[in-house]
Structures are given as structure tokens and as C-alpha cells.
Structure 1
Amino acid sequence: MRTSIFLAVSVLALTACGDAPTDADADGDGTITQEEVEAAVADASIKPGQWENTVEFIDIEIDEESLPEEMRAFIGPALEGMKGQVNTMLTCVTPEQAAEPQAEMFAGNEDASCDYQKFTFSGGTIDMQMSCNDPGSGNATITNTGTYTDESYEMQMSIAMEGSEMGNMTITASNKGEFKGECTGEEIR
């Protein structure tokens, strides 16, 4: 499972605003499907324009015993060097993108099979947990909790990975974003 994909999902997740129903398990069967998530975010909208998104890696814990011997010497130190790293980028959300935000941004890697344990996205609150299995890179449990308004968001993320080629690890990060105004052409699209 590529960590960057899940962090990118998290970065985009809270730029949406709206008051869609909070209980994604619409049929009450105890299982939240991708279709139910899509319905839950159907009324969400993204404010078009420039957004500043900041991700900080708070902690990265790795089980070095789960790493292949040849990878232990460089993976552990490389991940240790990511702790405390702050990445800020400007993105531009076009009016077309804003009109139809994609529920797939909550779906994880397209090759993975994901199940939602909970999904709340309403009234300024997001509380999501999903588990994914990717045949090529293992299992991951992703948790996002936070708050949002139409011009900002802030959340905490946790990604617990097992069975990946990089070994078992847990990544904790914070993510915040702020609407800055009109796009300037300097942003990532």
C-alpha cells in the first residue's frame, strides 16, 4: 500500500464542505459500502480556488523484525528521518472539480479491497475508519478524525500497515488546509 496515496486521500478529504447525512450505513445492515459513501458525500461541495494543504508526519513506528534483512539498514533510518517533516503545497480546485467531488477520494488504492468500519462526514466533523487489503502490498487500517468549515480543515490521521514490503508500520500525521482565494496558476492541479 503506498503511504503517499493514503495521505493524498486525506489531504483532499476535508476540502469538501456540506451537510450530507452523517450515517453512511444508510440501510442499517452494519456494513458501509462504497455506494453508501458515495451517497453520503453526494451533497458535498468543494470551494473552488487555491488551497494550502499542510501534512506533518508526527510519528512513524516500524517493526524492523518484519523487514527483510537487506532492507533494515536503510528503511528504518529513512523513515526516522521523515518524523517531524512538514510538507506544504498549494492546490487549485477548478469550478468543474468543485461541482462534482469524487467519492473515490475516500476509497484508497484502486487495486485494494477496502471496507469501511465508520464514515461520518457532516456538520463540520469527519470521522472515518477503513481497512484495505492490497494483494501486492498488504493490509492497512486508515483512520481520519477532524473538523472542517467551508474555508479550512484540520485532522489527525493514522495508517497502520501490515504485510507490506516495507514491513509493518504505523504512521501518525496531522493535516490542515486553508482556502487562500483565487487560483494563480502556480498551484498543483
Structure 2
Amino acid sequence: MMREMNMRKLVLITGLCGALAACNQPSVSLTNVSADEVEKQTKAAGLGSQIKAGEWETKVDLLDIEMPGINPAMKAEMLKRAKETKVHSYCISEEEAKRPGGIFTGNDTGECTYSKFEMSAGKVDITMVCPGQSGGKMTMHVAGTFSADTIAAVSEMKGEGQFPMQMKANVNSRRLGECKTGSPKK
């Protein structure tokens, strides 16, 4: 009986410690801000060093693609080609690691705005809107988890304008080690 009570206390204390640890994690929750503001706020919150610089590998698995007017056979062929897992290796510099917004979305050129940027306790939920090439806009939503060495997320993109389309993909990244000479930059 005493042992069972001690186990319950241990479970309760462990749960409380976990909850308190999560409460003390740095976090950022922003709406309608620029890439510069995301960088400033993540740095102020101590989130700018959550991702390690170095050689990274990203695998992209396309889940779905929609384009108005595309015939089913063409869509099937596009999905077949796109479903072949794409693997990209690149180097994230120390400077880039301090700007997590661009790491998750692939773009922090200043042309885009973040309608939503939430990053906390190993989770990220970002919606970014960029001007499109054909006069419309491109909206990208990324939601998932991360650690210093890994990222696992679902990415959804919606393009408007002359050639509207929607895509959904699983994105998994992992740090391989230090950057190699000649590695492409992020």
C-alpha cells in the first residue's frame, strides 16, 4: 500500500515537473508580422538558437496536389513523379540558425509576411503569405515539431492568380553534422 502511494506521488511529481518545464520553455506567438519582426521576437525569447547550424538533409513527400482544370490522368502522373521522395542536403549557417522562420518556410526574403507565427516547446505553427509570380499570392502553412537536430512537419501551400494550385507534403529534416565544404546553402 505504501509503495503504491509512493508510486502515485512519483507519477504526480513527474507530471508536474514536466508541466512546469514546458511552462518555462521560450515561446513566441505573433500575427501579421514581417520576417524581421519574427527574427527580432524569436531572438528576444531565446528561440533563435533552437535549431543547430550544420549540414541538414530534408525529405519531402508530396501527399496531394490540386490544380483547377487538370485532368485526372495528368494529376495521377504528376503525383506519381512527385511522390518519389525528394532528398535535399544543405548547410544552415550560424546566422540562418538564429532566424528560425526561414528555416521552417524556406523563405525570409522580406517580401513575405507571417499572418501567424507560433513557436514553443518543440512545436511550430506558421502561416506565411507571399506575393505570387502571376499576380496572386502564395500562402504556406507549416505545422509540426522540432528539436535542435530534427524537424517533422506538414506543409500546405496554396497559390492564387493565373495558375492556382494547392499542395500538401510531409517534410522531415535532420542534422547530419558540421557543414561540408561545397555544401549548398539554405
TM-score (norm 1): 0.65
Aligned residue in 2 for 1:90: 89
TM superposition shift of 1:89? 2.1
TM superposition shift of 1:116? 2.7
The unaligned stretches of length 5 or more in structure 1 are: 1-18, 26-30, 66-71
Please give the residue correspondences for 1:41-56 in structure 2 after superposition, counting only pairs within 5 Å. Answer: 41-42=42-43, 43=46, 44-45=48-49, 46-56=51-61
**Is contact 1:21-1:40 (8 Å) kept?**
no
User: Which gives a bigger RCO, structure 1 or 2 (Cα 8 Å, sep 6+)?
Assistant: 1
SS across alignment from 1:121: strand
Matched residues in 1 for 2:40 and 2:33: separation? 11
**Is contact 1:60-1:83 (8 Å) kept?**
no
Aligned residue in 1 for 2:18: none
**Is contact 1:63-1:168 (8 Å) kept?**
yes
SS across alignment from 1:147: strand
- Letter matched to residue 36 of structure 1: E
Partner residue of 1:180 out of 165, 176, 179: 176
Matched residues in 1 for 2:115 and 2:143: separation? 13
TM superposition shift of 1:21? 3.3
- Letter matched to residue 86 of structure 1: T
Does residue 62 of the first structure (1) align with residue 63 of the second (2)? no
Structure richer in helix, relative to its length: 2
TM-score (norm 2): 0.66
Aligned residue in 2 for 1:23: 29
Aligned residues: 155
Q: Give me the identity figure in percent.
A: 23
Larger radius of gyration: 2
Q: For the aligned residues, what is the CA RMSD?
A: 3.2
Cα 1:155/1:161, change in 2 over 3 Å: same
Aligned residue in 1 for 2:115: 117
TM superposition shift of 1:118? 1.2
Aligned residue in 2 for 1:12: none
Partner residue of 2:154 out of 128, 153, 156: 156
- Letter matched to residue 120 of structure 2: S
